[in-house]
Structure formats: C-alpha cells, structure tokens
Amino acid sequence: MKKTRFFSILLAIVLLLAVPFGSAGAAGFTDVSGKHWASYEINRLVSKGVIKGYEDNSFKPNQTITRAQAAVILSRVLKLDTSKDPKIVYKDVSKDYYAYDAIAAVTNADIMKGSNGEFRPNDDVTRAQMAIILTNAFKLKGNGTTSFKDVAKDFYAYEAIDALYANEITTGNEQNAFNPNQPTTRAHFAVFLSRVLDKQYANDPIVQELKEIYQKEFELNSYEFEGTMNYGFEFPTIEGATEEATAIFDMFKDIHVDFKGVYQKDPLQLEMDMTFKLNGPFPIGDIKLPVVMTADKMWIQIPELPFAPTPEEYKGKFIEMDFAELSEVTGQPAPVMDIELQQKLNEELFDLFFDHFGGEYYEEVSKDAIQVPEGIEVDKVIKFEMTNDELTPFIQKLFNKILPEFVALLENPEYAKALGVTSEDIEMLKQSLEAAELDIKDIVGEINNYVTLNELKEYIAVHPEKYIGYDVLNFDIDFTMEGETFGLKINYKMGKSNVNEKPNFVIGIPDATKIIKFEDLINFEGVIED
C-alpha cells in the first residue's frame, strides 16, 4: 500500500514543475543558462555548498581554476577538518591567506603538494594535475588500458589519467586526446568532480542495502498496516471573498486521515478503512471511507456525509469498479495484475532510483531520529532528504537520466502490459521527452524562482528482518505564480504488524446485495439531498 507513496510525491513535484518558463542561469548565475552543457554539474555542486560563484552573481565557467580554488573545493566536498592549524611551510601561503586552512587540509591529506617550498596557489590547474588531485582525493585506481595519443605511459600523470579513464570519469575528445597540459576551466572541474561523486555514490553500501530492503518489501506475503496522513493546503488571500468562501478554503488547511487495513499479496487483496477529519474553523464530523481491492476490481463504500445525508437504500453500499469494464469504456488497456511481473517491474524501478539517488540522498541516522510506536522492532533508521537547493539538480537528473531509462524499461512488452500502456503511448512519451529536452533545460533554470521546497524527508525504520516496519514522510512545498503563493504540506506515518501471518480481513469483499455498479454512478449523483 505504501510502496509508491514517496515516489508519487516526487512525481507530483516533477509534473507541477513541467510548465513553460523563461530561461535562467544555473543556481541563478548570469553566465550559466539552463542550456549550458555543464549546468547540471554546476547546480549540483552549488547545492551542496561545494562550489560557489562570484559577488556579481556570475560563475565564470570558462575561467581557469586555480590551485587555491581547487584546494577549497576539495576540502568542502571531502569535509576535511579545516579548523585545526597544522603546520605547513609554504613561502607563498601566509596564515591570513583566504585559502590557508583548505591548503593545509589537502596538504596533510596527501591530496595536493607543493614543490620547492611553494604551493603556487594562483597557478592554473592543468588537466593532468586535475587527474592527480582527483585520484589522490578519491583513491581511484586504473588498469593500464588508457591509450590517449598525447599521454605516453611514461608521462608523469599517466596512472592518474588512466584511473579517470578506467572509472569512466573521462573519455578524451574525438581526436583521442586528453590535452594534459591544457588549463582546467571551472566548468570542466565541476563536471569531472561530479562524475567522480557519481562513482562514489554508486559504490556506497547504502545503495545495495536499500535495494535489499525494498526487495524484501515486495516479497512480503501479507501484513496489517495502520497510520495517519495530514494534509494542509494554503491558498492565497482572495480579495472580496465572502466569509463562507474563506471558511471553505480554511477547511483544507488541516485535513487529518486515519487509516488501517490488511494486505495480501497472492491472491491480491487489500482493504483499508479511512476516516477523514476536516479541522477548519467549522469542523465537520468524521467521514469514513472503506475501500477494498483485488486484482480485478475495486469497491468503495458510499460515505455518510454529515452535510448531505445519504438515502437509506444506499447506506452501506459499495460502488464497484471492474478494471476490465473500465478499460472497455476508456479504450485503454487494463493493467495486468500479475504479481510476479509487478514485483519484477517494481524492483527494477526502485533499483533505477537507488542507482541514481541512493548514495547521494540517503543516509543512516540515529534510531532516535523518529518516534516509533511500541511493538515495532527497529534495526536501523535510514533517512532520505532533499533540500530546496538540491531541487534543481534533482529534477535535471530525473529528466536527463531516470526518465529515459524508465522509457527504455517500458519497451519490454510485459512491463508495458503490466502498466496498461500501449506501444503508441510509449512512442509518444519518447517523442515528448525529446521535444521537451530544451524546454526542460529552460525550466530547471527557473525552478527556484517559483518553487520553494521547505521540506522533503522520509525516514524508514528497518525491521531486523530487513523490511520497512515503520515509515514517516514530511513534505512541505510552496508555489509562487504571478505574486500569489500556494502551499501544500503532507505528513504521513505508517507501521506494519502481523507480517506474513494469516491475514484477518475485516471488511471483506462485498456481496452482490451491497454493490452499486460503477456505470450506475451517474444515477447516484441525484440521490443526495440538498
């Protein structure tokens, strides 16, 4: 039930951002547009506080990077301790020099060295020197397969350049040259450093651990679940609005949902009993909404609305939605509820996400980071967090990396059938992505001008048996358009119990006497009294 909640939030962000806006620079830089070839890498490193621009709001991507600047950047990305005052003796680096602490840190970490008693902080970093610096910083290893025409095996930086090549950090240019003596620009340094980080994140043990946790999730045969959801919608003040209209908007500022239910994997059956509470200035009574679903059908019980009584003949009845019949009406293929196929597809989708984002956005935190209900065992707690500064590079990677790979997955006919999409749908999606490529580059440059991500955190409490025993999601975002701000807050908590035990369905599949066909829903619209 929960498995797609978090990813639905992320997808919602993407859809809300996919609107036409003018072009702007990476991280607001005046000289790095959204279309700049290195805008993603620059955005990414700026969002992490690793690299910065200048006071005039420029980045100067084509300006060469100096040894002092490289030392500062590496000390930040590696989180080296610059608070200490180790003794370094460089004739050209005084203690009051702006980069003294960073130079001391990288020197003592054996990442950068000077010569003849000098560090030469204002010298440009050549591409060969960049290779050595990155190889030292991240302990990269080569395999002796590099064959750039301008890098002989006896060249002083051959092993470092070979390490970059072996780790797919560099491929050289079309002439099979590395240009080792050419100065490194700030843009190129950002790109190379970002690629190294990708390798580090991909090899982070947490990536494989996340894959194993979610694989275990998909393998669960049954469980009971219980939790809460709190929604809050903030609307701009409407000039001239009546008190009644204002009160209606205020009701949506605090919506509370309690839910509990039972899940069974095979044969698929899920039931959930939800209770809605609108806690505005004029709170209404609880609204209960039981839902039951199988592989073929879904039933939703007609709710008892405090402000609109339901006729006696409809009380306790369920609206039945037959997926096959809905498919005929809409002309769209019905999703195939093949449990094994769905599990395989889900695993691939989550693996795709974790391969790109697992090492960068997830980390293990203290068990005390969240309050877990009694009775739920916790082995460890893992946190996902994305900040407002990280939103732009996140969206860039989502569009440039994940969506194309997702479309490639859908080219598997079985997966397409499982999701209820046709080959025509997939081809249209591919064409849309290709056509939207330049627009996306424009959009990402403007994201922070109209979107403020106040909070996006998920905590998963991992049970000793490696499934998610308890889950917490906090989401808070504002959209500003034409001077008006709209806000959305979501808080979600859910825990599992009686995992892999015999499911105890309370609602059950409704019998024929309690069912209203979905096609009769139009007739039902007229039975609610004013």
pLDDT digits 0-9 by tens, 284-317: 778 899 999 998 899 999 888 776 777 888 888 9
**Per-residue pLDDT tens digits for 134-176:** 999 999 999 999 999 999 999 999 999 999 999 999 998 889 9
The rounded Cα 36 to chain-centroid distance in angstroms is 23
**Per-residue pLDDT tens digits for 489-514:** 999 999 999 999 999 999 999 999 99
Phi then psi for residue 451, to 5 deg, are: -125, 130
Query: Does residue 27 have a pLDDT over 70?
Result: no
526: confidence class by pLDDT, cuts 50, 70, 90? very low
What pLDDT is recorded for position 256? 94
Dihedral in degrees, nearest 10, Cα atoms 126, 132, 138, 142: 120
**Per-residue pLDDT tens digits for 340-352:** 888 888 899 999 9
What pLDDT is recorded for position 195? 96
Q: Please compute the mean of the pLDDT values over residues 433-447 and round it to a whole number.
A: 62
Q: Given the DSSP bridges, would you call strands 380-385 and 451-462 parallel, antiparallel or unpaired?
A: antiparallel
What pLDDT is recorded for position 493? 98
49: confidence class by pLDDT, cuts 50, 70, 90? very high
Strands, E assignment, 123-189: none
Q: Please compute the mean of the pLDDT values over residues 48-62 and round it to a whole number.
A: 94
- Between CA 39 and CA 27 the distance in angstroms is 9
Phi then psi for residue 321, to 5 deg, are: -120, 115
- Retrieve residue 428's tokens: 């249209």
Contact 66, 123 (CB under 8 A): yes
What pLDDT is recorded for position 123? 97
**Per-residue pLDDT tens digits for 314-339:** 888 999 988 887 777 666 666 666 77
What pLDDT is recorded for position 84? 72
Least confident residue range of 113-127, 388-402, 429-443: 429-443
What pLDDT is recorded for position 44? 93
- H or E, element range at 278: strand 269-278
Q: Where are the alpha helices (DSSP H) in 139-203?
A: 158-166, 186-202
pTM across the whole model = 0.83
95, exposed or middle or buried, with CB in 10 Å at 0-12, 13-18, 19+? exposed
Q: Please compute the mean of the pLDDT values over residues 256-262 and round it to a whole number.
A: 96
Q: Please compute the mean of the pLDDT values over residues 53-82 and round it to a whole number.
A: 95
* pLDDT, the chain, mean: 86
Q: Please compute the mean of the pLDDT values over residues 375-392 and round it to a whole number.
A: 95
Contact 119, 90 (CB under 8 A): yes
Query: Does residue 14 have a pLDDT over 60?
Result: no
What pLDDT is recorded for position 26? 53
307, exposed or middle or buried, with CB in 10 Å at 0-12, 13-18, 19+? exposed
**Per-residue pLDDT tens digits for 79-126:** 998 877 667 889 999 999 999 999 999 999 999 999 999 999 999 999
**Per-residue pLDDT tens digits for 172-222:** 888 999 999 999 999 999 999 999 999 999 999 999 999 999 999 999 999
Query: Does residue 18 have a pLDDT over 50?
Result: no
**Owner of token pair 């064959």:** 147
From its phi and psi, is residue 295 left (phi > 0), alpha (psi between -120 and 50) or beta?
A: alpha
What pLDDT is recorded for position 521? 60
Q: Which one-letter amino acid corresponds to residue 215? A: Q
Q: What is the DSSP string of 337-374?
A: --HHHHHHHHHHHHHHHHHHHHHHHEEEE-GGGS-PPT
The rounded Cα 12 to chain-centroid distance in angstroms is 11
What pLDDT is recorded for position 504? 96
